[in-house]
Amino acid sequence: MIPITRLELPERTRRELEDQTTKIAAARDRLREAHRLWQNRIVRTAILPVLRGTLAEMCPGIKRCMYCGDSLGTDIEHFEPVKLRPIRAFDWHNHLLACSYCNSRQKQDKFPLAPDGTPMLLDPTVDDPAEHLHLALSAGVYLDLSPRGKVTIDLLDLNRGELVKGREHALRANRRLLRDWREAAEDDDVDAVHECLGDLREQPVAEVALALLQQGHSAAVAQLFGRDPATLAHLRRPETLALAAEVFTTSAADW
């Protein structure tokens, strides 16, 4: 899971969302009305495509799930379930893009809360996952750094076998990509550098690339690059970290 910058919606879409929310607020049975409107033909043809397209621009990788980062994001996911808060069915800040496994099989309508009523599940558009989750790169698994991190790992099954294998593959690919980036930078090949940065952003499991950058000064990463000290030195350069941070915080449309 990586932090995601939420984009602004077109003004027309924002007004349409507000109109739907007003209808739900006025309904006697808000849950029923929320479900009815979400399935409405006009909503599905005029509003949902805009939401889906904007969420896709925000996604890690190429339209990857905002939770696991590996599978294709197929579902507009309500972070706070409609069943619990129907009034938020059309709340843009309650929408994420998730794969069907994370959304329908794992999370479903579960939404654990802390004693003070705040969400325990991490929202990557609000929370910095690195404050709650540590990706052990050599093992390909997440370790929790907080109670919220543990709930997120367990609820979304973030250490399921296929994700671990995907991270192991991504680690090997990223090590080669970082080497290519270093060589392109040394040759002042701007186009090749840009291509490497695009690949860092667009590959599945982008969290692995981000973890390598965030943990660049750790002993664990030093061990991973034990036979390639030049790339490790490049990885640790402030200029490298600053440019990589821009890659991961800029929308796909702008990059």
- Domain residue ranges of the chain, discontinuous segments joined by +: 161-249
Where would I find the beta strands (DSSP E) of 29-184? 75-78, 95-98, 133-136, 141-144
For the chain, helix, strand, coil in percent to 5 are: 55, 10, 35
pLDDT tens per residue across span 24-46 = 999 999 999 999 999 999 898 99
For the chain, state the CA radius of gyration. 20
Does the structure show a pLDDT above 90 at 60?
no
Does the structure show a pLDDT above 80 at 247?
no
Does the structure show a pLDDT above 70 at 224?
yes
**Tokens 């197929």, residue located:** 74
190, two tokens: 């701007």
**Cβ-based neighbours of 113, under 8 Å, separated by 6 or more:** 119, 120
Q: Phi, psi at residue 15, to the nearest 5°?
A: -65, -40
pLDDT tens per residue across span 182-199 = 999 999 999 998 888 888
Give the Cα separation of 156 and 112 in Å (integer): 12
Give the Cα separation of 4 and 60 in Å (integer): 8
**Tokens 């979400």, residue located:** 38
- Please give the pLDDT value at position 61: 77
Give the Cα separation of 230 and 234 in Å (integer): 6
Count the helices and strands in the chain (H runs, E runs). Answer: 12, 4
